[in-house]
Structure 1
């Protein structure tokens, strides 16, 4: 089973952005962002791309699946 590794929290904190602010920008609940940051939720491709666009990075810079 693959494990999701994410640097989302680092990018969000470096942008001085709250979880709720990011959630509103991408159209999800704050809890979704919490689960993403904790690696407990696998984002859809659209959500991953929307988040990457906000931070002007690639999806691969934010999310990585480890075997």
Structure 2
């Protein structure tokens, strides 16, 4: 789950506090479409939220910056 691109997404969330610009960082060097990459990132984030590994801010689909162990 946290290997390859999943690890890059997780690192962006936990180390940078967000995923802004991540689709370009992943897609452009690989020659992929940033829009499709963004959809894949959103799907991955939804699965992390569904598993309870990320919390969302109230009224938003953006991950909450609160630490997971301090629910």
TM range (shorter): 0.3 to 0.5
TM-score (norm: length of structure 1): 0.35
TM-score (norm: length of structure 2): 0.34
Structure with greater contact order relative to length (CA < 8 Å, sep ≥ 6) = 1
Q: Which has the higher strand share?
A: 1
